[in-house]
Structure 1
Amino acid sequence: MSINHACLLTGRDYTILQAKLSRALADGDSMVPALRHKLRNSVVVFGKDISPDVVTLNSRVVYRRGAGTMETRVVVDDGEWEVVGMTLPITTPLGLVLLGMSVGDRCVYIGSNGFEVTVSVERVAYQPEAARHVGSIASPAHICPDHRDLLPDSGTIIPFERAKSKVKGQQPGTDDPDPSAA
């Protein structure tokens, strides 16, 4: 894998890759060199400090392989969370390469077929760290402009705590009714 940029990882993503490397070493997995390279060539930052244009775990990324068409996938931890055609596990060469890349970065890696592939990040349509920074995953400010039309017409978001109805006899500040409710 050839990285032509500074690979940025959150502390959480770095720790997950370290655990994967430990398991891969024990299993004699072919991903060992790629995992070592990724960890050795990464800069670790706090999740709150990572730029919103960096691919982190659970980011929805728009990328291009070679001169092909753009593809969109959610980069996930492993195949357990895989949904064919929607996710890209970091247990695959492409998923591992995309993790930590920024918009505009290009990288050459050896694909699962043994051939060199160039991949470029076109856009990060969603990044969980950026959404948390704003304070709401549903915040329209962090929804890619191409997907804003999928939002409901009503822009009102009701906090869950306020939406709960009061139970007869409920003590203030609790969700348990007092004995008189029985």
Structure 2
Amino acid sequence: MSKPAAIYLTELDLTRLENAAVRAGNSSALAELVDDLIARANVVPGNKIPADVVTMNSVVRVVDDAGAEQEWTLVYPEEANVSSAKLSVLSPMGAALLGARAGKSVKYSSPNGAQHSLRIERVAFQPEASGQHTL
């Protein structure tokens, strides 16, 4: 099995993800997900993150397996709302997108075990690239 690709995380996103995992309590699946993200992360200050990296609160345009384009905002679990295109970072799809770069494809497993891939077409908005790296 191949090793998952390295990702970028800002220092602030790392801290907030750790806090989200603590708030979630005893969810071992959630803790494993956060641990996996952290293990693969190149952690950098918010003002040093490349502008084409998906960070928290980024708006990202993706193309799914079927060729359908979607636009999502990557948010913390308490802000998630699929009907508003706000995707939880702790969902399988959200975790796959976090830290990945535009032009790359990511893979994830849905809750029913089905395998999916998404190509990141572009990062339409990234808070850090807009100078919002110290919220």
2:83 & 2:89 partners in 1: Cα distance? 14
CA shift digits 1:99-141 (9 cap, x unpaired): 11101122222112211111221100011111117xxxxxxxx
Q: Amino acid of the residue matched to residue 84 of structure 1? A: S
CA contact (8 A) 2:77 2:89 kept: yes
Secondary structure in 1 matching 2:103: coil
Give the superposition deviation at 1:97. Answer: 1.2
Equivalent residue number for residue 19 of structure 1: 19
CA contact (8 A) 2:65 2:117 kept: yes
2:97 & 2:3 partners in 1: Cα distance? 10
CA contact (8 A) 2:106 2:119 kept: yes
Give the superposition deviation at 1:74. Answer: 0.8
CA contact (8 A) 1:17 1:39 kept: no
State the percentage of identical aligned residues: 33
When normalised by structure 1's length, the TM-score is 0.64
When normalised by structure 2's length, the TM-score is 0.84
Secondary structure in 2 matching 1:66: coil
Equivalent residue number for residue 172 of structure 1: none
Q: Which of the two has higher C-alpha Rg?
A: 1
Q: Does 1:43 align with 2:13?
A: no
Equivalent residue number for residue 8 of structure 1: 8
1:8 & 1:78 partners in 2: Cα distance? 20
Task: Report the CA distance shift for 1:115/1:27 in structure 2 as closer, same or farther (over 3 A).
Answer: same
1:68 & 1:8 partners in 2: Cα distance? 26
* Structure with more strand by fraction: 2
1:80 & 1:41 partners in 2: Cα distance? 25
Q: How does 1:51-70 map to 2 (within 5 A)?
A: 51-70=50-69
Task: Report the CA distance shift for 1:22/1:42 in structure 2 as closer, same or farther (over 3 A).
Answer: same
Structure 1 unmatched ranges of 5 or more:
134-182
1:83 & 1:118 partners in 2: Cα distance? 18
2:10 & 2:76 partners in 1: Cα distance? 14
Give the superposition deviation at 1:3. Answer: 6.5
